[in-house]
Chain A
Amino acid sequence: MAAGAAAAVLSSGRFYALIGFEIHVKLATNSKMFSPSSAAPAQPTNSQVTPFDMALPGSLPYFNRACLEAGIRAAIGLNCQINKISHFERKHYFYPDSPAGYQITQQRYPFASNGLFHYPLLVKKDKIKSSTKYKFVDSPNSFIVKQCRIDRIQLEHDTGRSIHDEHQNRTLIDLNRFGTGLIEIVTQPDIKSSLEGESFLRELNRLLIKYNICEQSGLETAVRVDANVSLHRTDTKPDGSRVEVKNIGSFIDVRQAIDFEIKRQEQLLVNNYPIEKETRTFDTNKHQTIHLRRKEDQIDYRFMIEPNLPPLHLYDNNDKQIQQKDFVNIDEIKKTLPISPLEERQEFLNKYKDFLTAEHLHELLRLDMMDYFRDVMNQLDDNRLRHIALEVILNDVKSISYDGRKIRKFAQAVSPTLFADIIKHVDKRIVTRFSLYTLLTLCNKNRDSTRPLKSFLDEHNMYAITDENELEKICLKILEENPKTIDRYKTNPKKAIEQLHSITCKKHHGRIHDDIVNDTFKHYFLKNMSTRLNYFRMIFPRYHSTKPTPHQQNMMARGLPKRTPIDGVQHVIAVGSGKGGVGKSSVSVNLALALSRLSYRVGILDADIFGPSIPTLLNLRNHKATTLTKTNLIEPLINFNLKCMSIAFLTKSDGPVVWRGLMVMQAIEKLLRQIAWSPLDYLIVDLPPGTGDIQLSLAQLIPLSGVLMVTTPQELSLVDVRKAIEMFRLVQAPILGIVENFSTYFCQKCGHEEKIFGENGGESLGKEYHLKILQSLPIDIYFRQACDEGRPISEKNDTILWSKFNNLANEIVKLLPTDRTTII
């Protein structure tokens, strides 16, 4: 006990939780447990009712053998001792949906007891490593297997359904469900956390489905759970007092209910309140448990042996009377059972040991994709193909099915046969690995599972280009269009081929195999410009690998500050430029406003320590940030619905800031960490121009979601932007794209368009670095005026400029989507 308890001690350190379940499982039988009427769900009300189901006088129960067999299958699966003689009992209580005034169940003599069930703990891998809460039984390569003792399994029937008609203030009764077979599985309090509880129930559910005990899913929930949660002092033994949370309908609800209940009871105990024995219910909307009744108020069910049913006799091969045909033989049932999910996983590990690891299985389990995996494996007859399929399932399918949450829908749309077919096509290189994801998404969206793969490929022209002649033509065209890459090849052949490759892939979306196209280019260069050195580099690229080894990486990472995200901020976008005066700050402010207009929570940070301009732009000049939150953070100023922070809000006067680099670094850290930014969807950081301390500090302090480069089209500006781009690449900050400012000027009088700063500067830069021009912004006189007066442009919604910002914001949202939990 001590070790187990210690493993689950709660955060307060003084208590541990014990959880036991009572699980009601609706048996998958055609007819009801004690009457011949159909047990099918969702039928017209009261259409499946025999005299027994409405408790007509003189009616009698007759036990359904199928229910018993399902129960025995469950008992075997849960390693229970099966009692050869058991009794049915009546549990009396008055409720309109229980027409006889009692329910037939098993109380004193259940048919199965004393079981033991093993289940794998389903915890994310990173959590296993970081958590000290869980002691591991097995090696990290295997599952963490937990066990839970089963107290008993009893046979009983379901009640009818009360339908409350609020309009006419009455309750109507539907007896269709009354009498359908259930088993109730009662566990010992061996579960110690919500995670264990959920893992247990998921494994149990797999077993129940595998053994055909209950339906996979249906209109009515097949499994309902009562959770008994109790908290105990670490220095005492459990005293049996507990709180029961009744009738929980889903795994997630179970987890939340347990978590809530543990927290609630812990709070009470910490404050020295006693825990009352009570029955509670779980409110799925508020995610909390609610008091139903005290244990003392519970009625006496006046259990009595059901006199209309003889004792239930079960037999096994040791019994002599076995020959009689209507006797139920446990051993016969055992023989018909498929292997359990646990054994199945072991079998997978043996069968597919070439490529499948326990970790893979664990991930498949966690994502609920085990069944799909098995079905796909059965469709493929080659381990190489199976390996590809596994990888695709754990990557592409995982993300398409929202981490397995929509896996059933996916499995319906993309049948295992279709999936196997796709894998075969990829393997035969008819479809490229790049278009696989798109193809799966298409198939998933298409609800017709009978549609053949060919029709998808034909419709969307997804066949890979493999014809050598055709490919060569394409490559030559690309080279023609990108003459610069040929020059680049002379200095950096690897980079050049990479560039050409990515251009080709973009142009023929998803239809190019990367190795073939690389070979074609290499071939071309080898043929046309065979420098010895280049030849050498190309044949033995790994000797010149620019990628550092892990050891080198570790060495390099030493001494650098660790990047940690800002609490409550989803994305940090830096807006930078090479040169000053390209309108960077006004772009930042207006982008922030545009995002804010799209109902995102946006903040803006003026990182220009030496020349802060955001206060002016947002009409916050001479304001100071002086308010502190409870957690000792500085409240940012808010204007135009933007949280806004600048060094100018913190320094005493409007005078210049004269600091050395180290102080600048500290100041930046303060602006990032000690401001109450949370909650934000986007934080826009307006960088100072150039490639200085501030840019470097920022990139090393926090993980940047992306960098926007602002530039003007003239060559002078572009030179510096290149440096900036190189720098951000060096610190591995992703560059989202380029915003070309002051691209054109529309004459106020005649509407003539004049390209003052030259043409195509941005575009050529974009091509050079494979960056997208996200937006080209014209010069606008009103914009200039508004900026100076602290009236952001977005106040006037109708200008061309505003719509351009709006597009820019939309582009950003597309590139960096947020988990929007709340919408302001």
Chain B
Amino acid sequence: MLSNKTPSTVRSIINAIQRYKVLNTLTHDCFETALETEQQLLSQKKNNSALNGRPILIKDNFCLRDTLTTCASKMLANFRAPYTSTIVQRLIDHGCIIVGKTNMDEFAMGIASWGSFGPVANPWSLTKTMATNEENNQTVLHIAGGSSGGSAAAVAANFVSIALGSDTGGSIRNPAARCGCYGFKPSYGLLSRYGMITLVNSFDSPGFFARNINDLIYATNAVAGPDNEDATLIPKPFKPLKTSTELSKEKRKIIIGLPDDYDISTLSTEYRSCWHDLVHQLTETGEFEFRRVKLPHTPYSNAAYTILSACEIASNMARYDGIKYGHHTKNIDKNKDTYEDIITKTRDESLGERVRGRILAGNYYLLEENYEKYFVQSQRVRRGVVNDHKKVFEEDKIDCLLAPVVCDDPITLAEYQKSDHIFSEDDLFTVGANLAGLPALSFPVRLSSKGFPIGLQLIGPFMQDQALLSIAQRICSTYEFPFLDLSIQN
């Protein structure tokens, strides 16, 4: 039969991933089942979905039944989820083939995708060096951004065309910008969080990486909409997003805001000029108009984000006691250890330093005497951020914001290890969209002088995902970005 003779896409993906093991994109693979699924799909009647038969990767914080779901943490190293998350199930129903689970920061806390499985390497590092020996890895490989670095790197390297990630404080947009692909965080409440291991309930947004905007739309259309498992979703039915070909060719003038408060001192000259150059370029087309806007709460947004996320993290992590599932300490003194002692040992052994630090901070902020001072105050800031954006979109009649995602080129793994700040300056660019629940898209613009991709982001009004993606489509059609492709064997 004909289908048997066609070369297997999944097989070639497996080969590519194995060839570039040094990128460390996966925590676990599902190669066997992926190959089986591919065969099954070929023999089945083809469904109409644009995603049918599409191999994809999912971040390792999405539950997939009977598959290890580790969140790159020792705590969940042996955790096989007994259920499948809504989004993953919907992707499977659309005929997606899940090839593996991608590497990330422990419990998605971080910007380097460096959890218990080691760091994800930026695929662009391989364009500068072929040396992949163990000794110099740390100095020649660069970070891929995070926390969804595995998904971003795999899409940027063209192992797969679509990968699933999650964005809590920029975890999709940051690695997308670092690796050079599209990363889309939809509005909060559009995609079900059921089965996605929670980091910060009120910020978490599932989202996708892709090499073109249409793929983002296909994937989002496949999974968005109400779900009886997640009470925070927008209850009204989801209206599918239209691809560029489906949209009418109406050329309305787009008004784009440039937030002054994002032009911070740490933003490198090269990255700033990339931002400004794009503005000039687009203004020249005559289809776009740019206005400077103010988001006065931006300087406080990082602090508010840090406190609010720490509180929810402390609360969400309370369930990891090693009793029902997950790591359980073997170092128990039966005569002496109390229930609390055993929990302490279990958590000390299995949770990373960053995770424990945030739990400690969160519990401190939540103490009765501190609640008003930190949690309530941070919520005020959050409301301020929401109102800032509302004002810009509604009063200033701005269609969307254009802003940087990161300040400068990625640092090497060795440099990252030496640096000791837990929170990066880059967070300032991304947390705003999470605090306000807005849709945001990170897109690659050009390469830096050192040969790393420079990305920018668009932030749109709440639930205006369609408009945002349409604008992005129009912007990106004005230039060509040199996408990397490691899937072709030289």
- Which residues of A does B touch, CB under 8 Å? 51, 54-63, 90, 92, 94, 96, 99-102, 173, 300, 302-304, 307-310, 326
CB distance from B280 to the nearest CB of A (A): 42
Q: Which of A55, A96, A326 contacts B339 (CB 8 A)?
A: A96
Q: What chain B residues lie within 8 Å of A101 (beta carbons)?
A: 315, 317-319, 321
Bound Cα distance A326, B375 (Å): 32
Q: Is the CB of B194 within 8 A of A307?
A: no
CB distance from B344 to the nearest CB of A (A): 10
Q: How many A-B residue pairs have CB under 8 A?
A: 102
Which residues between 308 and 334 of chain B lie within 8 Å of chain A, taking CB atoms? 311-312, 314-315, 317-321, 323-325
Bound Cα distance A173, B325 (Å): 13
Bound Cα distance A40, B75 (Å): 33
CB distance from A156 to the nearest CB of B (A): 16
Q: What chain B residues lie within 8 Å of A56 (beta carbons)?
A: 63, 81-83, 324-325
Query: Given A51-B83, A307-B312, A60–B375 Cβ distance below 8 Å?
Result: no
Q: Is the CB of A60 within 8 A of B193?
A: yes
Q: Is the CB of B323 within 8 A of A303?
A: no
Bound Cα distance A771, B143 (Å): 109
Please name 10 further chain A to chain B contacts, defined as beta carbons within 8 Å, in addition to the given A56-B82, A57-B81, A308-B231, sorted by A numbering. A58-B81, A59-B195, A62-B228, A96-B321, A303-B366, A304-B311, A304-B315, A308-B232, A309-B231, A309-B232
Q: Which of B197, B228, B231 contacts A57 (CB 8 A)?
A: B197
Bound Cα distance A51, B367 (Å): 29
Say yes or no for B79: interface residue by CB 8 A criterion: yes
Across the interface, name the chain B residue whose C-beta is closest to A169.
B334
Query: Mask for B41-68, Cβ within 8 A of A = 1, else 0?
Result: 0000000000000000000011100000
Bound Cα distance A300, B194 (Å): 30
Bound Cα distance A250, B311 (Å): 39
Query: Given A94-B340, A300-B368, A57–B315 Cβ distance below 8 Å?
Result: no
Q: What chain A residues lie within 8 Å of B63 (beta carbons)?
A: 56-58
Q: What chain B residues lie within 8 Å of A90 (beta carbons)?
A: 315
Q: What chain B residues lie within 8 Å of A54 (beta carbons)?
A: 324
Q: Is the CB of A58 within 8 A of B319?
A: no
Bound Cα distance A326, B315 (Å): 30
Q: Is the CB of B230 within 8 A of A94?
A: no
Q: What chain B residues lie within 8 Å of A307 (beta carbons)?
A: 200-202, 232, 312
CB distance from A404 to the nearest CB of B (A): 44
Q: Is the CB of B315 within 8 A of A92?
A: yes
Residue among B69, B235, B366 with max Cβ neighbours from chain A (10 Å): B366
Bound Cα distance A56, B319 (Å): 8
CB distance from A107 to the nearest CB of B (A): 11
Bound Cα distance A58, B197 (Å): 4
Q: Is the CB of B319 within 8 A of A308?
A: no
Q: Is the CB of A58 within 8 A of B76?
A: no
Across the interface, name the chain B residue whose C-beta is closest to A61.
B231
Q: Is the CB of B231 within 8 A of A55?
A: no
A-B contact pairs, 19 of them (CB 8 A): A56-B63, A56-B83, A56-B324, A57-B69, A57-B319, A60-B231, A61-B231, A62-B229, A92-B363, A92-B366, A100-B319, A300-B368, A302-B315, A302-B363, A302-B368, A304-B312, A307-B202, A307-B312, A309-B232
Q: Is the CB of A300 within 8 A of B367?
A: yes
Q: Is the CB of A94 within 8 A of B194?
A: no
Q: Which of B229, B319, B324, B343 contacts A60 (CB 8 A)?
A: B229
Q: What chain B residues lie within 8 Å of A302 (beta carbons)?
A: 314-315, 363, 366-368
Residue among A58, A60, A308 with max Cβ neighbours from chain B (10 Å): A58
Q: Is the CB of A304 within 8 A of B366?
A: yes
Bound Cα distance A62, B228 (Å): 7
Q: What chain B residues lie within 8 Å of A173 (beta carbons)?
A: 323
Say yes or no for B196: interface residue by CB 8 A criterion: yes
Bound Cα distance A137, B418 (Å): 79
CB distance from A401 to the nearest CB of B (A): 46
Q: What chain A residues lie within 8 Å of B194 (beta carbons)?
A: 58-60
Query: Given A94-B343, A300-B367, A60–B197 Cβ distance below 8 Å?
Result: no
CB distance from A172 to the nearest CB of B (A): 11
Q: Is the CB of A94 within 8 A of B366?
A: no
Q: What chain A residues lie within 8 Å of B339 (beta carbons)?
A: 94, 96
Query: Mask for B350-366, Cβ within 8 A of A = 1, else 0?
Result: 00000000000001001
Q: What chain B residues lie within 8 Å of A102 (beta carbons)?
A: 315, 318
